Amino acid sequence: MNKFSRIGFILAAAGSAVGLGNIWRFPYITGEYGGGAFILIYLLAILFIGLTMFLAEAVIGQNGQSDVSTSFVALSTSKNKNWKFAGFMVATGLIILSFYSVVLGWILDYVITSFSTLPNEASIAGANFERLISEDVGSLIVYHTLIAGTVIFIVLKGIKDGIEKINLILMPLLGLILAGLLIYALTLDSFSQAVSFMFTPDFSKIDSHALLAALGQAFFTLSLGVGTILTYSASLPKKANFVKSSIVVAIVDTVIALVAGLIIFTFLFTAGAESAAGPGLVFISLPVIFSGWGMLGHIIAVSFFVALVFAGITSAVSMIEPALRFFIERYKISRQKATLICGGSFYFLGIIALLSMSKSFGAHLTFFGKNAFDIMDFMTSSIMMPLAAILICIFLAYFVEKDTLKEKFLAHTNETVFNIWYFLIKFIVPIAITILLLNKLGAI
């Protein structure tokens, strides 16, 4: 099994973390909860929850040097084989990838649209988006096929020639596009307003919902609970500094989210639009704003949506790798066969997801009031990912020798850092994620 270089791991893990959650979800949630105070809470959640869990997955993966199931068994006290069932989390990534590919298809449509006519009213933009997801089934299948084919082509090449290489290309390109958009945003009068909105706390906007939203965003933005970081870490050399690499990834992920927020809020405020634009921010609000800027608006729109595609592809590639590694290691099959199984699975589920939102097939693919797309989203984000994270915490706190973990951390950091991490993983993080899980399920 070929290995990541250190920079390859950082870019691949950052590529996994940096996705639609940073450039789409983070800005609109920040807008809904009033900016600065929410960001402060989010940063604390990244530091104490997100980074803690990232290190947890990294230490399991680097120690196990294998698939999720085998790595759990290898690190467990007395090598308990029952921990092989922790491998359930690899299915989470495939299910997420199924509808994630559909969303990337929507964005691909917006890249194409940005070359021609952009809507000049929110009502028109909303109608266009609704028509795309509910009526234009043929185009969506083509887009989903293109995205799925791209992901499958990349992972077929393996760790070094596929995943590492594509991240060495796309991550710097994503950075360049965002840097260009940020430089343009700096020239606009509303940039200072965006800075003030994002970094001046207004705690009157903060309630329990905001706290849970910040926790959820911090947790999900780093691709935790799906086995990706664990699997990527298994492709690091055993002596590589997983602590330093984890910190770098968390910093890159957070910086990109903040930069995306600054860019988007500058554009919104320039147009006199509301900061609390909601989930429709990218697909409805921004295209209308771009349409008012003439040719420059088209250039910015293309750049912005291409950046979203790049971010989405690097995340999509990471979601399939844990399942591939599972089939390769556990069932001793070739990467080609594993890719055929996993690629075919998420592609088929993706077809069901996109059809479930269409007028023609939606009624047949709706169960208990939710269409298949929403069911997949709910199952993964509200149940499977939090459960996997809680399982990881319990495993490290009670089924792995503390001295074993301490030895691995002390090779790269000091005892104080380890003790803080261990306290968080044993007490604080599982409680926080349990509260998040119960909230998602409507129990609190």
Confidence of residue 145 (pLDDT cuts 50, 70, 90): very high
Position 157 in a domain: yes
Give percent above pLDDT 90 in the chain. 77
Identify the helix (H) or strand (E) that includes residue 370.
strand 370-371
Residues in the chain: 444
pLDDT in tens, 184-227: 999 999 999 999 999 999 888 888 888 988 988 988 788 899 99
pLDDT in tens, 22-81: 988 899 899 989 899 999 999 999 999 999 999 999 999 999 999 999 999 999 988 888
Give the residue from 220, 224, 240 showing the smallest Cα distance to 65. 240
Position 50 in a domain: yes
Structural domain range at position 309: 6-440
Half-sphere exposure (CA, 13 Å, Cβ side) for 195? 8
Rounded Cα distance between 231 and 55, Å, is 13
Number of structural domains in the chain: 1
Task: Decide if pLDDT at 136 tops 90.
Answer: yes
Confidence of residue 443 (pLDDT cuts 50, 70, 90): low
Which tokens belong to 221?
């933005």
Rounded Cα distance between 316 and 309, Å, is 10
Position 425 in a domain: yes
Rounded Cα distance between 232 and 229, Å, is 5
Position 136 in a domain: yes
Task: Decide if pLDDT at 444 tops 60.
Answer: no
pLDDT in tens, 366-406: 999 999 999 999 999 989 999 999 999 999 999 999 999 99
- Provide the CATH number for the domain around residue 39: 1.20.1740
Position 84 in a domain: yes
Q: Which amino acid is at 137?
A: V
Position 76 in a domain: yes
Position 1 in a domain: no
Residues 301-304: contacts with CB under 8 Å, at least 24 apart: 301/110, 301/114, 301/118, 302/111, 302/114, 302/115, 303/177, 303/180, 303/181, 304/177, 304/181
Integer-rounded Cα radius of gyration of the chain: 21
Position 268 in a domain: yes
Cα angle for residues 289, 294, 300 (degrees, 5° grid): 65
